[in-house]
Homo-oligomer: A and B are copies of this chain.
């Protein structure tokens, strides 16, 4: 399985708004057969910082999800409050 770790830094004070958007997205994605996990966290060390841990059936399944209309809608909601997004790691899950 294919796993991703992403880091998102929001504009000042917008962290919890981003968490709310991503939590809704997480529920929808985990309801699909392709997405095993979509977990949303806040950093204990850095302000305005959210980390995502995702596990997908395959890299292709993840790529396909980005074209779904409902996922595009969440991306559109998040974009205006984001400062930057960083892909921390692309991984193959072993256990």
What residues on B are CB-neighbors of A82 within 8 Å?
none
Secondary structure at chain A's binding surface: helix, strand, loop or mixed?
A: strand
A residues contacting the other copy or chain, number (CB 8 A)? 26
**A22 lies within 8 A of B92 (CB):** no
Number of this chain's copies in the complex: 2
What residues on B are CB-neighbors of A8 within 8 Å?
none
* Interface pick from A43-51, A63-71, A73-81: A43-51
**A94 lies within 8 A of B42 (CB):** yes
**A94 lies within 8 A of B23 (CB):** yes
**B91 lies within 8 A of A42 (CB):** yes
Q: Which residue of B lies closest to A87 (CB)?
A: B45
**B95 lies within 8 A of A22 (CB):** yes
CA distance A67 to B93 in the complex (A): 27
